[in-house]
Chains A and B, each alone.
Chain A
Amino acid sequence: MRDRGLILTGLLVFLAGITFPIWYDLAGGKTSRAPDLKRSAQEKVCVAPLSYMRTSHMALLVDWRDQVVRRNVRSFRSFDGKTYTMSLTGTCLKCHDSKADFCDRCHNYAGVRTPYCWDCHVDPKLIQGRTP
């Protein structure tokens, strides 16, 4: 093991290299914890259990879209038997009242581009600043 020094130094440099993002985050004072989203004050439960919404809200939204637009079915029976109107701005945004604080924070954190929902659907926050 003549090259012990060289190998160890190389290994150290390699380890420092691949763990760099962690050090960088720590040094920058940023934590790598997922954003803590504000829960709604009015409602305690969502239209589906939290775990489902976390992993599959996109599937639910696409299903809602198809039901309303293509099949003219507008009410949704949730897992606990409650009935909701299937509407992104009318139902989802009633509780999650800010797209920036709710959708965008998680999507930014996960590095997932916010889908084109908002190119057409209106975020009510957008209107507040506009003159009629």
Chain B
Amino acid sequence: MSLTRTGFVRLLAAPLAALAGRLRAALTARRWAMVIDARKCLKDQGCVKCIEACHRAHNVPDFSESGRQVKWIWKEPFERAFPSQESAYTPEALQGKPVLVFCNHCDNPPCVRVCPTQATWKREDGLVMMDWHRCIGCRYCVAACPYGSRSFNWLDPRPHIRRLNPDFPTRTKGVVEKCTFCDERLAKGQMPACVESCPEKALVFGDLEAPGSAVRELIRSRYTIRRKPELGTKPEIFYIV
């Protein structure tokens, strides 16, 4: 039996292809960012599917009774989310309307600068990460974040988690937590939980530095605003309003 040249190449290529398939599993980018279409999001203002999906996936405790709320993703009235856009004549479609807000994964994150233990840091691909092993609960980051995206666990969160997800750790009392753009899901090749759960597909996640990516196309073709850009934090969540 003779081995043809094509056969030989195929033989070599098979394990490489298998390896490539495995590598493709993780989603990577040079700069992750998100575009939120507030108009699509406002179609059903009672919808909390993304919030539920996120909080369930990440074992976010429900402290609503104690007033010590922990939140990764929530809704804020338009004027509170975009104080610089506030005027007496805000369009009716937006006036007091709930806007989805969460960690902006700033390009110049003030929380990272103030963290004394480097428990929070900016990853190469732009994700502002948290290392809960290292957080000492000083809450400097909570004070530094101009978006209120960080929550502190004043109490032991475990009893306040409705359904424990064993695939994700909980936090302990005295630790700060926030959205991490689902880094654990990206590593498995999945989109963030909020993006996946949105029935209107109002959340678009992608690589800001890849020309032609979905987020770049939306930012190019539509008018987008960001939360408090005047502070120089360079937020990476863009809103179509």
Interface residues of A (CB under 8 A from B): 65, 69-70, 72, 74, 89-90, 116, 119-124, 126-127, 130, 132
Q: Out of A65, A70, A120, which one reaches B172, CB within 8 Å?
A: A120
Confirm or deny: B91 has a beta carbon within 8 angstroms of a beta carbon on chain A: no
Q: Is the CB of A120 within 8 A of B163?
A: no
Interface residues of B (CB under 8 A from A): 59, 123, 129, 131-133, 162-172, 183, 187
Given the known A-B contacts A89-B166, A116-B172, A120-B170, are A70 and B187 also in contact in the complex, defined by CB atoms under 8 Å?
no
Rounded to whole angstroms, the CA-CA distance of A112 and B133 in the bound complex is 20
Rounded to whole angstroms, the CA-CA distance of A65 and B131 in the bound complex is 10
Rounded to whole angstroms, the CA-CA distance of A120 and B171 in the bound complex is 5
Minimum Cβ distance to chain A for residue B92 (Å): 41
Q: Out of A65, A74, A124, which one reaches B133, CB within 8 Å?
A: A65
Q: Is the CB of A72 within 8 A of B167?
A: no
Rounded to whole angstroms, the CA-CA distance of A121 and B162 in the bound complex is 16
Point out the residues of chain B lying under 8 angstroms from A65, CB to CB. 133
Q: Out of B59, B165, B167, B172, which one reaches A119, CB within 8 Å?
A: B172
Q: Is the CB of A90 within 8 A of B131?
A: no
Minimum Cβ distance to chain A for residue B44 (Å): 25
Q: Is the CB of B169 within 8 A of A69?
A: no
Q: Is the CB of A121 within 8 A of B169?
A: yes
Given the known A-B contacts A72-B123, A72-B183, A116-B172, are A122 and B164 also in contact in the complex, defined by CB atoms under 8 Å?
yes
Q: Is the CB of B169 within 8 A of A120?
A: yes
Point out the residues of chain B lying under 8 angstroms from A89, CB to CB. 166-167
Rounded to whole angstroms, the CA-CA distance of A38 and B165 in the bound complex is 26
Q: Is the CB of B187 within 8 A of A90?
A: no
Residue in chain B with minimal CB distance to A87: B167
Given the known A-B contacts A72-B123, A74-B187, are A120 and B166 also in contact in the complex, defined by CB atoms under 8 Å?
no
Q: Is the CB of B169 within 8 A of A127?
A: no
Given the known A-B contacts A120-B132, A132-B163, are A72 and B187 also in contact in the complex, defined by CB atoms under 8 Å?
yes
